[in-house]
Amino acid sequence: MTASLSIRDLTVYYKTPLGLVQVLDGLTADFEQGETVAVVGESGSGKSTMGFAITRLLPPTGVVEGSILFEGQDLVSMPQKKLRDVRGTGIFMVMQDPFSSLNPVKKVGLQLLEAVQIRMERRGEHFDYGSASKEVLKRLYDVKLPDPAIIMTKYPYQLSGGQIQRVVIAMGLLLEPKIIIADEPTSALDVSIQAQVIALLKELQQQYGMTLIFITHDLAVANVVSDKVLILYAGRLMEFGDKRGIIQKPMHPYTQGLLKSFPSGSYREKELYSLPGMPPSFFSLPVGCKFSDRCPYAFDRCFKEEPGILDVEGRAVRCFLYGGARKNRVA
C-alpha cells in the first residue's frame, strides 16, 4: 500500500487577542490509499482543525506549519489558486452540519451538475448536459435516495438532514476524489439515519477505493467504521494504529480511560469508570505530558517532560509507560 496522504510535523496556531494558541502540535501520520482512519477526540482536541488544515480551509487567523504531502505536492506551501484544483476532485470534505454545506438558493440538481462540470473541466473533458444529468441520477440512486429525479428539483431546505448528507456524499462521488474527509458527518443525525449514512460511506469507500478520514468523538462509531484509529488529545497524537488493537488492547492511559468510561450494563451492577477532571483548555495546558493531570499512572517525569511518540508493536504511542522509560510498567 502507498500513502495517499503524508502529514509531517503538522502544527496549527490560531491568532487570538490573547496571543498565539497552538491547537495541533507536531502531528505526523500516514494515510494509506483505500483505508479508513477514524480520528477520535473530545471537543477541543484539535480533530476538526486537523480536517480543515488538510483542506486548507482554516479561518484567516489560522497559521499552519509542517507539511501535508498529497500526490507528491505539499499542500501547506501550495498557493491558494492551485489548492482550488485539489479541493473537491482531490480531497473532498463532508461537513458536520449538512445544511450549511449546500447553497440554499440553488436546486440540488444544479449543484450536483456543477460538481460534474468541475470534474470534467479539470480533466480537460467535454461537459455534456445530457450525460451529466444521467450521471447525477445514477449517483443519487447509488446513495439510496428515493426518487432521484424529484430530489434534483428540490432546494436543500426541502430535504431532511439524512437526505442532504446523502446529497453531499453523492456530490463527493461525482467529483471522484482520492480522499474523503468526513467531519462528524453523522453527529447531527438520528441513530437510525446515522447507521444508514455510515453503511453507505463504507460501501462506497470500498467500491471506489477512496481513502476515508472519519472525524468523530464516538469510539463506538470509530469501531464500526474504521481500519485504523488515531486518538487526539489537546492537539497531540496520543495513539495511532490498527483499530482492532486499539479498541481491544488500548495502550495509552487516555484511550484506556475513554474506553472504560463507555456506558455499559446497568447502574445496579457497577459505577461507571470516569476519568478525573476535564479536557484541558489550550490556554492553560499542563507542563509535561498534556494528559498528566488526569492520568492515573502519572509519575514525576510526566509532569516535567512531554513524551515523544514511540513505536510499540507497530503502534504509535505518546507515553512514558512504554519503551522502558520506567521499570515497573503498568498495563
Partner 1 sequence: MVELVRTESLRRYFAAEKLGLLEKLAGRKQRYIKAVDDVNVVLNKNETTALVGESGSGKTTLGRMLATLDTPTSGKIFYSGVELNEDALESVRHKVQIVFQNPYESLDPRMSIRQIIEEALTRYGGDDRAGRVKEVLEAVGLNYSDIHYRKARDLSGGQRQRVAVARAMAANPEFIVLDEPTSALDASVQSQVLNLLVQLKKQYGYTYLFITHNMMVARYISDRIYIMYAGKVVEAGLSEEVFTDPFHPYTKLLMESVPSLEPTARLEAMKGEAPSLLNPPPGCRFSPRCPYAFDRCFKEEPRLHLVGQRLVACHLFEDRER
Show the site string, 214-253: x = touches partner 1 by CB under 8 A, - = not: ---xxxxx-xxx------------------x--xx-----
Q: Is 157 in the site for partner 1 (CB under 8 A)?
A: no
CB 291 within 8 A of CB 42: no
Residue environment code for 132-144, b if the CB has 16+ CB neighbours within 10 A, otherwise e: bbebbbebbebbe
Q: Is 21 in the site for partner 1 (CB under 8 A)?
A: no
CB 133 within 8 A of CB 113: yes
Show the site string, 114-153: x = touches partner 1 by CB under 8 A, - = not: ----------------------------------------
CB 241 within 8 A of CB 315: yes
Of the listed pieces 25-33, 101-109, 159-167, 304-312, which binds partner 1 according to CB under 8 A? 159-167
Distance CA 24, CA 28 (A): 11
Residue 239 to residues 15, 19, 200, Cα–Cα distance (Å): 28, 29, 27
Select 89 or 226, whichever has its Cβ closest to partner 1. 226
Smallest gap from residue 54 Cβ to partner 1 (A): 23
Smallest gap from residue 88 Cβ to partner 1 (A): 27
Q: Which three cell numbers stand for residue 139?
A: 449517483
Select 162 or 172, whichever has its Cβ closest to partner 1. 162
| Of 16, 153, 160, 207, the one binding partner 1 by CB under 8 A | 160
- DSSP annotation of 210: -
Q: Which three cell numbers stand for residue 298?
A: 502519572
Of the listed pieces 2-10, 59-67, 109-117, 211-219, which binds partner 1 according to CB under 8 A? 211-219
Q: Is 287 in the site for partner 1 (CB under 8 A)?
A: no
Q: Is 196 in the site for partner 1 (CB under 8 A)?
A: yes
Smallest gap from residue 141 Cβ to partner 1 (A): 15
Select 127 or 273, whichever has its Cβ closest to partner 1. 273
For 4, phi then psi, to 5°, come to -90, -15
| Of 100, 103, 206, 261, the one binding partner 1 by CB under 8 A | 261
Smallest gap from residue 222 Cβ to partner 1 (A): 8
Distance CA 77, CA 12 (A): 14
Q: Is 283 in the site for partner 1 (CB under 8 A)?
A: no
Select 242 or 306, whichever has its Cβ closest to partner 1. 242
Distance CA 315, CA 8 (A): 17
Partners of 20 in the β-ladder: 15
Q: Where are the beta strands (DSSP E) in the chain?
A: 3-16, 19-32, 36-40, 62-70, 73-74, 91-94, 179-183, 211-216, 228-233, 236-242, 310-312, 315-317
- Please give the residue ranges that form the binding site for partner 1 (CB under 8 A): 42-43, 160, 162-163, 190-196, 198-199, 217-221, 223-225, 244, 247-248, 257-259, 261-267, 271-275, 278-279, 294
